[in-house]
Amino acid sequence: MNVRHITNDAGVVRGYSLLKQLRPSHDDAQFHEQLLRQLDTGYCLLAIADDDYVYAIVGYRWCENLARGRYIFIEDFVVDEAVRNGGHGEQLFDALVELADEHGYGSVELDVGIQRQDALRFYLNQRMVTSAFHLALELTPPEV
């Protein structure tokens, strides 16, 4: 078991069931297509996996802006329900922090839904602090 980037369709298929635990309402075919589109536009997948099993996975982006400088933004982070509390989340989070540090990025950031109290507790235990509020205005998506 080691930390590795997922960079091909076969890896996406292996990580899919884990990401589906985090986003269960997504349609399977559209979910897979969206993951491939996101990979084409800078989304990265880092996982703790062996040849047969993905234990934990994080989807992130390399970002830079005037307000925060260079940072990694976590979009999706999930540990398989079957192995939670086994240290995989901490190991993956630490690997992502190390990756950011190695590339000279100043922080690792994310948004967490207020309903996800277990996730919030996990991130606070990883030394993260609340540094902003994320606000959103929902729009009706165009018909495709």
For 4-27, the pLDDT digits (tens) are 998 877 777 778 888 888 888 888
Would you list the domain boundaries of the chain?
Answer: 2-125
**pLDDT tens by residue, 80-119:** 999 999 999 999 999 999 999 999 999 999 999 889 999 9
Q: Which of 93, 60, 58 is nearest to 78 (CA)?
A: 58
Q: ∠ CA 90-53-36 to the nearest 5 degrees?
A: 90
**pLDDT tens by residue, 88-97:** 999 999 999 9
Q: What is the pTM of this model?
A: 0.89
Q: What are phi and psi of 31, to 5 degrees?
A: -60, -50
CATH architecture of 2-125: 3-Layer(aba) Sandwich (3.40)
